[in-house]
Amino acid sequence: MKQRMNGVWAVFGVLCTFLWMSAALVDLAEARIGGGRSGGFRGSRSTAPPRQTFSPPPSRPQTVTPGTQTRPGMATPTPQPQPATGGFWRGVAGGVAGGLLGGMIGNMLFGSSGHAGGAATGGGGCSSIGLFEILIIGGILYLGYRLLNRRRQQAHQSGGGGGKTYGATLLYPEPAAPQLPAFDLQTELEPIRRMDPSFNEATFKEMVQDVFFKLQGAWMRQEVSSMRDLTTPEFYDILDKELQELKAKGQINKLENIAVRQVEISEAWQEQGQDFITVGFLANLLDYTVDAGTNQVLAGSDTEPVKFEEYWTFVRPIGNGPWKLTAITQPGG
């Protein structure tokens, strides 16, 4: 019995190591500002997902030959499957980890069968793992699968990019007009306008788009001090911690060819003497992580653009003061 329990604990340790490695790869693959995760403070709505602005999601990009044009009557090129972010690195690491995991579990389950007979002739017990232990292992594997699958969905849930072209080889169809949900944004904005008659939606969207580009640039240059005036102190601390972790690993997150396709106000409200406005971004960019010393790509792709939908919440004291970023949230929370 002791040998069997030792086998269970050994398998459990291997599984924990495997899940930790997989989770680390997911975090590394989505490494733009905020890490492709949800974080920050949204007042009383911090635990609620933001109202999604873009519905239905824009279509996937289509691969076309440079110089060709799509004309009425021509067959639409078939959309090509997009590789998962992380590409080669995740595939190799996942294959190696999966192979090691399968080999080690197989060895633990069946590797001692050759010794069991000899032990049996000598009156010893069999050290192979029984049905109960296999059920435990199966349960752990299932929970691990659910965890990783949920994290990948959050990391890769993409709103896609609009726009007509990206570089010279990709064609992005214009996204469909947003299907506005049953709410009145103007009614939500009215209290903000009442306290700040100078508030203008178009000007606000230009401002937040400018902040979006400034923060992405500061993130890539690892200039955390540049973010202080654009974020709340609490959210600044979050970004500072993540950048320090990158620096400690000797890594740089490269963000290139950033293109914002749509910017829409998602929701607005007031509470506790503060104005809150959440803005939805549809954007695409090249997002990859390199070794600071060798410039070798560790995760992501420097050729395949990442398309994403993200919601940024800005806050200020009620009045006409400057807005600051307080949270970044993924669709669905």
Check which CATH number belongs to the domain holding 288 and give it: 3.10.450.240
Euclidean distance between CA atoms 180 and 39, whole angstroms: 25
Separation in Å, CA 214 to CA 61, 200, 256: 26, 21, 13
Rg over alpha carbons for the chain, rounded to the nearest Å, is 25
Is there a contact between 57 and 178 (Cβ–Cβ < 8 Å)?
A: no
In a domain, 135, yes or no: no
Using one digit for the tens of pLDDT, what is the confidence trace for 154-167? 544 443 333 333 33
In a domain, 321, yes or no: yes
Using one digit for the tens of pLDDT, what is the confidence trace for 67-115? 433 344 444 444 444 444 444 334 444 454 455 455 555 555 555 444 4
Measuring CA to CA, which residue among 294, 218, 211 is closest to residue 260? 211
Euclidean distance between CA atoms 30 and 161, whole angstroms: 17
Euclidean distance between CA atoms 125 and 119, whole angstroms: 6
In a domain, 144, yes or no: no
Euclidean distance between CA atoms 169 and 23, whole angstroms: 33
Q: Residue 171 pLDDT more than 80?
A: no
Query: What is the reported pLDDT for 53?
Result: 85
In a domain, 136, yes or no: no
Q: How many CB atoms lie within 10 A of CB 74?
A: 9
Mean pLDDT for all residues in the chain: 73
Percentage of residues of the chain with pLDDT beyond 90 = 48
In a domain, 146, yes or no: no
Q: How many CB atoms lie within 10 A of CB 56?
A: 9
Q: Which residue has the higher pLDDT, 169 or 274?
A: 274
Using one digit for the tens of pLDDT, what is the confidence trace for 276-285? 999 999 999 9
Is there a contact between 257 and 276 (Cβ–Cβ < 8 Å)?
A: no
In a domain, 218, yes or no: yes
Query: What is the reported pLDDT for 327?
Result: 97
Least reliable range by pLDDT among 85-89, 126-130, 199-203, 210-214: 85-89
Using one digit for the tens of pLDDT, what is the confidence trace for 230-272? 999 999 999 999 999 999 999 999 999 999 999 999 999 999 9
Contacts of 78 (CB under 8 A, 6+ apart): 62
Range of the domain at 158: 2-74+86-93+153-329
In a domain, 160, yes or no: yes
Separation in Å, CA 296 to CA 21, 104, 275, 288, 305: 20, 31, 44, 10, 18
Number of domains comprising the chain: 1
In a domain, 181, yes or no: yes
Rounded mean pLDDT, 12-31: 46
Q: Which residue has the higher pLDDT, 120 or 211?
A: 211
Rounded mean pLDDT, 172-199: 76
Q: Which residue has the higher pLDDT, 184 or 173?
A: 184
Query: What is the reported pLDDT for 140?
Result: 82
